[in-house]
Homo-oligomer: A and B are copies of this chain.
Amino acid sequence: MSKYWNERIQKLEPYVPGEQPKDKRYVKLNTNENPYPPSPKVLQAIRDAANDQLRLYPDPNTDDLRETLAEATGLTSDHIFVGNGSDEVLAFSFMSFFSSDRPVMFADITYSFYKVYANLCSLETNVIPLDDEFKIPVDAFCEPNGGIIIPNPNAPTGQAISIDSIRKILDANAESVVIIDEAYVNFGAESVVPLIKDYPNLLVVQTLSKYSSLAGIRVGFALGNPELIDGLNRLKNSINSYTIDRMALAGAKAAIEDDLYYKQMADKIITTRQNTINSLLDLGFKVIPSQSNFIFITHPSIQAETLFHDLKNKGILVRYFNQPRISNYLRVTIGTDDEMNQFLKVLKGIINIE
């Protein structure tokens, strides 16, 4: 605490990202990165952008990238906002649309940054418990609120929600903005982008960090009706005119254009996910159904926290959340076949000893 911090900063409870340890080399299955490299065309586009033009500001409106996204999504570019990673897009959305008059709704088990944003914006929250199967209770999200955010699939469970359920929530909330966070949508869930034309209150947030193997370039975007996009631009242009650098703009455009490459990588990840799940079931684990590039698992006799530490000691990094209801679960990113075989081999060794 410092006497120079104003009230806003004093009351913040910042997010703590998954650890990025530097002490040794790990099989890193803790921050849901894609195990496959970015498309070679993306790397070439970034190298090509490393030229004398870097002396000039980038396009503050990201017109070229938005045109490419428009083509890929079937929307027009005034439906698209580009941000410095989807976390920035989400923070800006909370700051722009969620109202302090009524509580903002999200699940008790979900991306833990949402409560950080609510706190940042001094918003009241109505935290909705998932059911015993970790499913979204749709009716609860139809009560009066000042905004809703739901990831599809959810994190850290990996479980998807159906389009019909989201449609029901949208119908019940015409007066508030409903954000669907589709960070992991390309690993088996269904996008609600086609609903944008019917629902002016729907904002879909996506990212290049997972499916596009580009966590390192920091590009995310929001898709929604132009009124919502205008609101995000008003906020962005009151903070920083130029949020996306020239290399990231070039790389992001190339990634959107090379979807064929990424679809193949996603297919590999989905196959590896199923193989990993089968092996875990053989080892006695319970596995929550996953449509994402990670799985959420629990063992009937060995505590998740014990497994987490034993795995880490043996060079395998997964994510453990010391939180109510999920403190006996581990979230495990799907890596390459080779990485998952290493993970399973170490895991078997631990289970045999315990």
Contacts and interface: CB of A to CB of B under 8 A. Distances in A.
Interface of A: 2-9, 12-17, 20, 28, 31, 33-38, 42-44, 46-47, 50-60, 84-85, 87-88, 91, 95-100, 116-117, 119-120, 175-177, 200-201, 209, 213-218, 227-228, 230-231, 233-248, 251
B228 A54 contact: no
B20 A59 contact: yes
Contacts of A91: 238-240
A4 B241 contact: no
A110 to B, nearest CB: 17
A246 B270 CA distance: 27
Given A60-B17, A99-B6, A54 B38 contact: yes
A47 B50 CA distance: 6
- 9 closest A-B pairs (Cβ-Cβ)? A14-B237, A37-B52, A2-B227, A54-B216, A46-B50, A216-B246, A55-B213, A91-B239, A247-B247
B50 A240 contact: no
Q: Looking at chain A's contact residues, is the secondary structure mostly helix, strand, loop, or mixed?
A: loop
A4 B231 contact: yes
Contacts of A43: 50-52, 54
A227 B91 CA distance: 24
A245 B242 contact: no
Contact of A242 (B35, B175, B218, B236): B218
Given A14-B237, A95-B8, A238-B117, A243 B218 contact: yes
Given A238-B15, A241-B87, A2 B99 contact: no
Contact of A31 (B57, B87, B120): B57
11 contacts: A5-B231, A14-B233, A33-B56, A43-B50, A43-B51, A46-B47, A50-B50, A58-B218, A84-B84, A85-B240, A87-B241
Contacts of A12: 234-235, 238
Number of copies: 2
A37 B20 contact: no
Contacts of A3: 175
Given A38-B52, A56-B216, A58-B218, A239 B88 contact: yes
A88 to B, nearest CB: 4
Nearest to A209: B57
Nearest to A42: B54
A233 to B, nearest CB: 8
Given A88-B240, A247-B50, A98 B14 contact: no
B239 A216 contact: no
A315 B52 CA distance: 21
Given A59-B20, A231-B9, A248-B247, A201 B4 contact: yes
Which of A4, A53, A233 has most B Cβ within 10 Å? A4
Given A33-B57, A56-B215, A237 B46 contact: no
Contacts of A42: 54
